[in-house]
């Protein structure tokens, strides 16, 4: 839709006959838009209903030997199997593949053609950035690895869900995927929700220069993602909006400015409305009821193992951490 409309209007902007031709162009574009909009509604109604248990996974052997420990420990910890189970309530029209793979030095993750790829490089980076000790705000070193790793998978799942279920997105899709991830993390038990959210916010903050005044290249503002600091404030706001008590210290300690915090309950309410209305119908409620149980079972062991490892061999940061997420 954007193509034809842009094509029609662009010449008008520079030519002298702009005023005369413009109404016709707009009328044509409007007609096209209406036809497309109507057919889109038809498509949505005709979309396959989907079924649960559509998550598949693959541990692609790393190309870089340095990533072998990440691969091995994720596999031993059944990281992708656990994620598969957590996401199994999603009713999808086609299988969705979760994949960890080497990306030739690129630390990234993406969704494309029903496949989510998370690079070992990105997991290695999360692991490298983990602090040496637990943080004073009450989250452990393990949480600073588990939180961002879980966030990466859930963010990409957000993209996948929008695409596979033809969910309309108003605003920027990258922000919507962040919100999708935050919302799911907040469905965990309180203690885990807090740990994962704060671990994730910690990781975003590390990606920015530190201090009250920062300098970033101008083109950073053109990125389709919000800036890391914005992503951190956004996730904290959603969390605070969801549970003012659980995240009270986030505002008291000024990690989230009071001015933003005032509207967070409304932001969370908007998100809840969208998730309930748009994603809710695609969740198998019976399977979803087991969500907490699955999470608790898988994450507790994982966190304990990460904690033990950082206690004993601090020299060698635990590669699993990253993959460690559920």
- Sites of contact with Zn ion (CB under 5 A): 174, 177
Q: Kind of pairing, strands 109-112 and 115-119?
A: antiparallel
Q: Which one, 175 or 249, has the nearer CB to Zn ion?
A: 175
CA separation for the pair 264, 7 (Å, rounded):
40
Q: Which one, 174 or 267, has the nearer CB to Zn ion?
A: 174
- Report the 10 Å Cβ neighbour count for 71: 21
- For the bound state, the minimum distance from the C-beta of residue 173 to Zn ion, rounded and expressed in Å, comes to 7
Which residues are 119's β-sheet partners? 101
Only one residue has tokens 């904290």, namely 236
How far from 91 is each of 243, 271, 292, CA to CA, in Å?
A: 28, 20, 18
Q: Which one, 175 or 267, has the nearer CB to Zn ion?
A: 175
- For the bound state, the minimum distance from the C-beta of residue 285 to Zn ion, rounded and expressed in Å, comes to 27
CA separation for the pair 165, 168 (Å, rounded):
9
Only one residue has tokens 């702009």, namely 18
Q: Which one, 160 or 193, has the nearer CB to Zn ion?
A: 160
Provide the token pair at 98.
Answer: 């979760």
Q: Which one, 139 or 177, has the nearer CB to Zn ion?
A: 177
- For the bound state, the minimum distance from the C-beta of residue 157 to Zn ion, rounded and expressed in Å, comes to 10
Q: Which one, 176 or 188, has the nearer CB to Zn ion?
A: 176
Sign for the pseudo-dihedral over CA of 69, 75, 80, 82? negative
Q: Which one, 233 or 255, has the nearer CB to Zn ion?
A: 233
- For the bound state, the minimum distance from the C-beta of residue 158 to Zn ion, rounded and expressed in Å, comes to 7
Provide the token pair at 80.
Answer: 């992708």
- For the bound state, the minimum distance from the C-beta of residue 155 to Zn ion, rounded and expressed in Å, comes to 6
Q: How many helices (H) and strands (E) does the chain have?
A: 15, 4
- For the bound state, the minimum distance from the C-beta of residue 221 to Zn ion, rounded and expressed in Å, comes to 17
Provide the token pair at 28.
Answer: 């044509």
Provide the token pair at 289.
Answer: 């009821």
Provide the token pair at 74.
Answer: 């994720």
- For the bound state, the minimum distance from the C-beta of residue 231 to Zn ion, rounded and expressed in Å, comes to 11
Q: Which one, 194 or 231, has the nearer CB to Zn ion?
A: 231
The residue count for the chain: 326
Q: Kind of pairing, strands 55-59 and 96-101?
A: parallel
- For the bound state, the minimum distance from the C-beta of residue 113 to Zn ion, rounded and expressed in Å, comes to 15
Q: 184: closest CA among 295, 323, 54?
A: 295
């Amino acid at each position: 839709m954007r193509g034809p409309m842009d094509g029609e209007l662009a010449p008008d902007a520079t030519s002298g006959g702009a005023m005369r031709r413009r109404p016709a162009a707009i009328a044509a574009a409007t007609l096209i838009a209406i036809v497309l909009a109507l057919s889109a509604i038809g498509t949505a109604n005709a979309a396959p209903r989907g079924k649960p248990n559509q998550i598949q996974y693959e541990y692609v052997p790393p190309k870089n030997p340095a990533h072998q420990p990440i691969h091995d420990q994720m596999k031993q910890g059944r990281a992708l199997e656990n994620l598969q189970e957590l996401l199994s309530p999603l009713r999808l029209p086609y299988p969705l593949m979760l994949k960890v793979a080497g990306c030739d030095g690129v630390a990234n993750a993406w969704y494309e053609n029903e496949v989510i790829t998370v690079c070992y490089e990105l997991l290695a980076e999360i692991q490298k950035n983990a602090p040496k000790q637990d943080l004073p705000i009450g989250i452990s070193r393990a949480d600073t690895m588990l939180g961002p790793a879980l966030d990466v998978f859930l963010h990409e799942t957000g993209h996948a869900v929008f695409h596979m279920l033809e969910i309309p997105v108003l605003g920027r899709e990258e922000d919507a995927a962040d919100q999708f991830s935050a919302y799911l993390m907040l469905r965990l038990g309180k203690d885990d929700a807090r740990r994962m959210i704060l671990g994730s916010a910690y990781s975003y903050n590390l990606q920015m220069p530190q201090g009250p005044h920062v300098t970033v290249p101008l083109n950073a503002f053109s990125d389709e993602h919000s800036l890391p600091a914005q992503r951190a404030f956004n996730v904290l706001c959603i969390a605070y909006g969801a549970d003012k008590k659980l995240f009270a210290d986030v505002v008291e300690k000024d990690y989230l400015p009071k001015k933003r915090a005032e509207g967070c309950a409304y932001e969370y309410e908007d998100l809840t409305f969208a998730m309930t209305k748009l994603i809710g119908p695609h969740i198998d409620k019976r399977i979803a009821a087991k969500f907490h149980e699955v999470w608790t079972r898988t994450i507790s062991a994982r966190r304990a193992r990460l904690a033990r490892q950082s206690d004993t061999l601090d020299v060698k940061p635990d590669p699993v951490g990253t993959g460690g997420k559920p």
